[in-house]
Amino acid sequence: MVREGILPHDKDGAYIEQESKIIINKLITSEERRRFTLYHELVHHLVRMDDDLYSYLHDAYSKTSDFDRVIELVCNLGSAELILPREIVRNLVDQKGLSLSLLPELCESRLVSGPAALIQLVQNAPNQCYGVVCERGNSKDIGDANQEAFVPNSISNVLYILYAIWSPSVQYQLARYTQIPSNHMLSTSVDSQKITKGLDRIPFRSGKEWQVPCEVFVFRNKAYGLFHVTQPPNIQQPRLF
């Protein structure tokens, strides 16, 4: 069963396991966002119904916070795949190269949200990379002591990571709600109408100093970042996988 309802402002949807019910926040007006949320919650249901998969994930991530984080990641990946199949993304990347400039084409031709398109770009990238979607507001983890390295002077209207995605083979992960410093390229490029390219840190919550080639693109009022751990191959070069 799927229905609309009132949810906290930071929750687009919810899956009520006991009733096998999906609730979509009625305050969401974007059709693309509603679709992504619906499929996200549907994957929650599918994962919970698969006893073997659920038990495997629970055993592999015994800490509640780790388990919850992995479940959310799986649901984001599943939602993006259902909305935007990987074959479409891979073909486009092979033709034009990996870049945030592909976001408008993917979103407008397939009626998908920006985060869903970014997830598929990163998951199907021919190189190792990280992707982030950032927006301004009050970060949900504002009181987290681990945020020190990435907390700007003012905590009002800060730029923070709303969604994060990374290649399956990278060693480290990014934390959602990490705040972006005012001198980071993600912050300094938010008023640009074009893709900005340069060298900057991958926005780890720890503040780890790891600078890589990156690009920033402001799309639909959110700042998208793509950080290349390894360089994308030339589009003339065939994929090895």
**Sequence spans of domains, the chain:** 2-81, 93-228
Residues 121-124: contacts with CB under 8 Å, at least 24 apart:
121/89, 121/93, 121/226, 122/165, 122/166, 122/167, 122/226, 123/77, 123/80, 123/86, 123/165, 123/167, 123/168, 124/86, 124/89, 124/90, 124/93
For residue range 94-111, what is the model confidence (pLDDT) as tens digits?
Answer: 999 999 999 999 998 877
The Cα–Cα gap between 135 and 223 comes to 6
For residue range 63-96, what is the model confidence (pLDDT) as tens digits?
Answer: 888 898 889 989 999 999 999 999 999 999 999 9
pTM to 2 decimal places: 0.80
The Cα–Cα gap between 31 and 33 comes to 5
Domain 2-81, classified CATH 1.10.10.2910, yes or no: yes
Report, as an integer, the average pLDDT of 156-176.
Answer: 88
The Cα–Cα gap between 158 and 139 comes to 7
CA-closest candidate to residue 124, choices 69, 169, 174, 176: 169
For residue range 26-46, what is the model confidence (pLDDT) as tens digits?
Answer: 888 888 888 889 999 999 999
Q: Given this structure, which CATH class describes domain 93-228?
A: alpha beta
**CA distance readout (Å), 63 to 59, 66, 100:** 9, 5, 35
